[in-house]
Amino acid sequence: MRLRFSTAAIALLLASAPAFAAPSAKARQEIAGLMQALGASHCEFNRNGSWYDATQARAHLQRKCDYLLKKDLVDSAEQFIDRAASRSSFSGKAYRVRCPGRPEQDAAGWFRDQLQRLRGSAKPAP
C-alpha cells in the first residue's frame, strides 16, 4: 500500500511540475547575441553594490546561464533575461547597467532593448 502511495505521489508531483524544453537554436543564438552585446558594450554592470566591466559581467552571466541551461530552466532569450540577467540570485537586488553617454538603468531593460535590436528593431545600441 505504501509503495503504491509513494509511486502515485511522485507521479503527481512530476505531472504538476512545469515542463521546460531545451532552448531552440534561435533562442541559443539570441542569448549568445545578448552576451556578445554586453561584452562589446563598454558598459559597466552593477551587481550587489559593486561595478564590474563588461568582460567580468559577461563571464558572471555566462556562468548563471550555463547553470540554468543545465537545469533546463531557460528556453528563451526572455527567460534568460528574467532568470539570469535581471537580478542577483544571491541578494535579489536588481542588476544595473551604465553605459558611456547614457543614463544608468536596470539591466533587465538594457537587455530587452538589446534583444529588440537583435531581432531587427530600429532601437540603437548604446
What does the pLDDT look like over 35-92, one tens digit per residue? 999 999 999 999 999 999 999 999 999 999 999 999 999 999 999 999 999 999 999 9
- Residue 6 falls within a domain, yes or no? no
Q: Are 79 and 87 in contact (CB under 8 A)?
A: no
Query: What confidence score (pLDDT) does residue 13 get?
Result: 40
Q: How many domains does the chain have?
A: 1
- Residue 105 falls within a domain, yes or no? yes
- Residue 13 falls within a domain, yes or no? no
What string of DSSP letters covers 66-106? HHHHHTT---SHHHHIIIIISB-TTT-PBPEEE-TTS--EE
- Residue 29 falls within a domain, yes or no? yes
- Residue 106 falls within a domain, yes or no? yes
Domain of residue 79, residue span: 21-118
- Residue 15 falls within a domain, yes or no? no
- Residue 27 falls within a domain, yes or no? yes
Is residue 44 within a helix (H) or strand (E), and if so which, with residue range? strand 44-47
Query: What confidence score (pLDDT) does residue 23 get?
Result: 86
Q: How confident is the model at residue 21 (pLDDT cuts 50, 70, 90)?
A: low
Q: Distance between CA 116 and CA 51 in Å, rounded?
A: 25
Q: Distance between CA 15 and CA 39 in Å, rounded?
A: 40
- Residue 66 falls within a domain, yes or no? yes
pTM of the model: 0.77
pLDDT in tens, 79-117: 999 999 999 999 999 999 999 999 999 999 999 999 999
Q: Are 123 and 116 in contact (CB under 8 A)?
A: yes
